Structure 1
């Protein structure tokens, strides 16, 4: 009874709230649905454009750093191909319309200077067989289809349909670092790595002004994976938990979680500085002009003034600018001397 009375009083109070006083034109439901569909298509196109840009800029970095990624490499053909089945829900409708997809495995993008590009594959080609294996909706994972040729080093035959005509092209695979570049929907100006992939936010995609700036970001995140910073931080956290447990037993005050957090934070600034240093080498190896790379941190300082003089898990932007500027000079000297572009190790 009290609950019903309270609800009634709330409704009465809300009915006294101010309301708009203008008379606006009504919106037809069918027009609303049409506009929603259009906006979904525009949103999908925007997502696709950001993703393709990140992959296009990241591919040379992953390719030229393959020898620095140890055993974590993978074959790469340099193309994107989809069927309708790759997408679900509203995305399926938008993707199907954008690329005119069906149940056939259709190439939608071929990256420059890739095996697919060199072999003559083009967007719009329908892939029928890879390595003499039929491509079907239940069997369209490229890496599985090219696993055999990858281990033997043999070229990959690809059977396609182009404008109704069957053709067979041969691709020589390339090996790249096995850290795919992904764009995630977030307004935060951020990028991160998890030991398995590289993630760039849509906010960071908008913030970077040039291909070289985005390449600098991708190189930095690749370096986190190359140097196993995620694994090292995990080990440091575990060590902190163990030490915290020992202190907890000795004092009776539970500091286990505190110890874990302190362990995880150990050397975090040093790891970030190392990623800047190793990452700019990766960017340079890919052929990007890195002379203006340090300016990225000046712009980041202007965007986030609190980070100019102080940093918690990351070095401050002033020091990052200066350190990266020295790294750029170091790389320039090695290029002039004809030396390999590899970071200096302790």
Structure 2
């Protein structure tokens, strides 16, 4: 049995197409990352548990590290997704704003990690609740077990995530609120959850140290190396918004092989990715400067509308290209080499945004 001594509700989510059940990882034995306001989460294993092998311990550690990064990424992404729904055009959806998983969300030795550390069973359990979402307003909590939606029992077992998304997605798209029944501390709790309009992009963390980010039209992935390089929440928001903007503007479909980028993302989201497929960015072509500049402009508006400062954008991108120029394989600058052009667009857009903010004009690009 796993005992949770301190619990916390984290604002992390990801989006799967138009589904309202949002798949992502949940919390592990970690302390909050810099800038996080949540208390530490501590989960321990009872003394009478079977002996944990080195492989099992490594799997738990790997899972925990990736979960902590994923949680931070979604906390940062949340205001970008919610506050820019109107800019996302056809890619905005009605969502509930929570994630849920069970032990079958993992495979191999990670099933043990999910069971022992996260206390997952066959039922879907709320992993995180997005701050400001309908789920948060309704009082949904991390650890709630999903029982039913609009009176229909929600699935359990190996395919529960996919099956539940198929049930919740249509309900969220056609209703303003959704009646959920959850189990909390062995008591059934009914909740009326308002839907949340948000950009329907799935946000992923890539388990590699190369400094890059990818967008395939529906998803955004930032590598662990990029998160570590960026350091601050604000800088991470710049990268997230930039690739969201590429998705909104349709650049992934018009300038690159969507299949190639999707394959890279599929690989990097695994806990142990195959890094050999990243050589030379696996055939991903550099982004044309006009499209890169357009994404920079839109992304800065998205950043400002989400409550982040645009003041440090130029310095961040300049630092990135100086330390990791276009000659570095599998690096961000190699895929976005038009640095001088981009910086000129960034300077102009930041000034434009400041002017609108000072005169209280709408932040619309």
TM-score range, shorter chain: 0.7 to 0.9
2:219 and 2:59 map into 1 onto residues whose CA distance is 27
Aligned-partner SS, 2:313: coil
In the superposition, relative to structure 1, how do residues 157 and 312 fare at CA in structure 2: closer, same or farther (>3 Å)?
A: closer
Q: List aligned pairs for 1:231-246, cutoff 5 A.
A: 231-233=253-255
Unaligned runs of 5+ in 1: 1-31, 236-260
In the superposition, relative to structure 1, how do residues 269 and 312 fare at CA in structure 2: closer, same or farther (>3 Å)?
A: farther
Deviation track 1:27-73 (CA, whole Å, cap 9, x = no partner) reads xxxxx972332222111111001111112211221222221222222
Give the match for residue 115 of structure 1: 134
**Which one has the bigger helix percentage?**
1
The Cα of 1:234 is off from its aligned counterpart by 5.4
Q: List aligned pairs for 1:38-57, cutoff 5 A.
A: 38-57=57-76
Give the match for residue 224 of structure 2: 202
1:42 and 1:318 map into 2 onto residues whose CA distance is 41
Aligned-partner SS, 2:181: strand
Unaligned runs of 5+ in 2: 1-50, 258-282, 328-332
1:331 and 1:184 map into 2 onto residues whose CA distance is 31
1:34 to 46, 53, 68: 53
The Cα of 1:190 is off from its aligned counterpart by 0.3
2:125 to 73, 88, 106: 106
Max radius of gyration: which structure? Answer: 1
Q: Greater CA deviation, 322-331 or 222-231?
A: 322-331
2:190 to 152, 168, 187: 168
Deviation track 1:275-321 (CA, whole Å, cap 9, x = no partner) reads 111111111111112221221112203312567xxx77534445434
1:104 and 1:143 map into 2 onto residues whose CA distance is 14
Aligned-partner SS, 2:125: strand
CA RMSD in angstroms, aligned pairs only: 2.5
Give the match for residue 250 of structure 2: 228
1:49 and 1:313 map into 2 onto residues whose CA distance is 27
2:215 and 2:111 map into 1 onto residues whose CA distance is 28
Contact kept, 8 Å, 1:295 with 1:321, in 2: the verdict is no
In the superposition, relative to structure 1, how do residues 91 and 313 fare at CA in structure 2: closer, same or farther (>3 Å)?
A: closer
1:73 to 84, 92, 102: 92
1:88 and 1:281 map into 2 onto residues whose CA distance is 40
Determine if the alignment matches structure 1 residue 62 to structure 2 residue 81: yes
Larger RCO, structure (CA 8 Å, separation 6 or more): 2
Contact kept, 8 Å, 2:201 with 2:244, in 1: the verdict is yes
Contact kept, 8 Å, 2:210 with 2:225, in 1: the verdict is yes
